[in-house]
Amino acid sequence: MINAVRLLAAYDEQLRTDAETASAVSVARHGPLHLATFVGGRGFVTYRDLGGADAATIRRLVPAALAHYRADPEIDRVEWKTRGHDHAPGLPETLLENGFVADAPESIMLGEARLLAVDVPLPDGVTLRRVSDEADVRAMSAMQNEVFGVPVGDDLADGLLDRMARDDGMELWVAEAAGRIVSAGRLEPVPGTDFAGIWGGATRTRWRGRGIYRALTAARARSALDLGKTLINSDSTEYSRPILERSGLVKVSTTTPYHWRR
């Protein structure tokens, strides 16, 4: 029997703050907030909890965090990652008042890696492999941008290539058909924890519903187990959530990213 309460406690203890900012260029502290700066001018706000802050305290925390990033001309965008199970009175309203825009909520999915590491048949002509060459990384990133409706550019690929050069443990996996990438995703083992994250899952529209994403997830889960990681985490859209649920992961909460742009 999967214990969702236990999994959520492990998530809060192991995956928040330091684990989220390990690849940051710098991290500053402001009260309970961790204010991270990443390559490419991206700011990221996170915390384990807000220490019981009331609405008045939160109304002070948000502009103070934003002032930290406004003072750095290299920062052109900031993400504030909220979680549905946090005690944070008035936080969504305060973020909106300070110029943040909410993305769609996603499900926080957690579970045992072994439940995902199953044999999944692939359609004829489809193969899976791990990639690391620059040309493959750029092709993968362009496909993901296209699927997610993001203008195709160099930011995603440049960020991934920078991380690979620093060898932070991230793995990139793709599914191909006739030499063309049709699905892709990352595996991110979290040092010092039981977790590996599966991120960036994207599949071209005409290839969906054929087991490719599930097979790609199974390949990443097997790799996680090989690395000694027993738990999997993912922030899932409503497309990928049912696939992960069928594999045995459970929804323990929600996360809504709020974005500010200079």
What domains are defined for the chain? 4-108 (3.40.630), 111-253 (3.40.630.30)
Residue 208 above 60 pLDDT? yes
pTM, to two decimals? 0.87
pLDDT digits (tens, 9 = 90+) for 77-99: 999 999 999 999 999 999 999 99
Residue 72 above 80 pLDDT? yes
Contact 107, 239 (CB under 8 A): no
Task: Summarize the confidence of residues 45-70 as an average pLDDT.
Answer: 97
DSSP H or E segment with residue 96: helix 91-97
Query: What is the rounded distance in angstroms from the CA atom of residue 199 to the CA atom of residue 185?
Result: 6
Amino acid at 194: D
Residue 121: DSSP 8-state? P
Neighbours of 1 (CB within 10 A): 3
